[in-house]
Structure 1
């Protein structure tokens, strides 16, 4: 089993495509006609986004919706949050942070942004997995 993609509902697919292409390095890999519109497929390495046409107003708090069944946010890693935010300028709709998590992991910083459709995008620098993690049945709630 391998990860496939995240599907996003977009008010304006071109605006959303430009956001993820410009700031996160995605490029269109396919466009599939559906009815009067199309579904756009974007790719950055092994990460894929699928952009659907949609209507309606977004509703997402600072780090994403908390209700069950809703995606809270999508996330990316960067070498420098400060450089990303400087490059984005007014295009960075920051909802939370940047926050430092040095008490957990030295050098870990995170900022949350809203994409053109209101989807919360988390961007972190300095995160890394622990060297060895043992997962017990209790931790898995089995």
Structure 2
């Protein structure tokens, strides 16, 4: 289906730095990219083909929408409570082709949105699965190679 492949799990963190240190120290992850949202950030960790996307818990509530998402749709990317999985995620070659294949089965909760301000060609949509789990499908995400070997924003 539209070149679909595993991408990441989004995790809500009480303390992103502590969570990042845990997964880098004990599970072999390393920082792949950081998206700065002004008063918060999203940290991408990678171990081989497995990614974790770390959010500050509640950082995407309607009062503080992430990545320019209008307040009316903030939260469409999944629950924001600490300790809860935010969403599952997959990569595809074309979000639009993927949505066309799903047709009426696609219950879109957010998007599709373009994030060209962060990565040229990055496009994402969030859907609800039959059990209510949010599933993100993106195209065009790439690691930021300047973070290789570091696990916090100070490079330590």
SS in 2 for 1:72: strand
- What pairs up with 1:112-123 in 2 under 5 angstroms? 112-123=126-137
Higher relative contact order (CA 8 A, sep 6+): 2
Structure 2 residue runs of 5 or longer lacking an equivalent are 7-48, 51-74
Residue matched to 1:74: 88
Extract structure 1 runs of 4+ deviating beyond 6 A: none
Q: Does 1:139 align with 2:153?
A: yes
Moved more, 131-140 or 91-100: 131-140
Give the conservation status (yes or no) of the 8 Å contact 2:5–2:91.
no
- What pairs up with 1:83-98 in 2 under 5 angstroms? 83-98=97-112
Structure 1 residue runs of 5 or longer lacking an equivalent are 1-20, 27-45, 48-60
With over 3 angstroms needed to count, the CA separation of the structure-2 counterparts of 1:136 and 1:127, relative to structure 1, is closer
Q: Normalised by the size of structure 1, how large is the TM-score?
A: 0.54
Question: Cα offset for 1:133?
Answer: 1.3
SS in 2 for 1:128: coil
Between Structure 1 and Structure 2, how many residues are aligned? 89
Cα shift readout 1:84-142 (whole Å, capped 9, x = no counterpart): 00010011010000000011110000000000000000010000101231565753798
Q: Normalised by the size of structure 2, how large is the TM-score?
A: 0.49
Cα shift readout 1:56-85 (whole Å, capped 9, x = no counterpart): xxxxx4111000111000100000000000
Q: Does 1:63 align with 2:77?
A: yes
Partners of 1:106 and 1:129 lie apart in 2 by 12
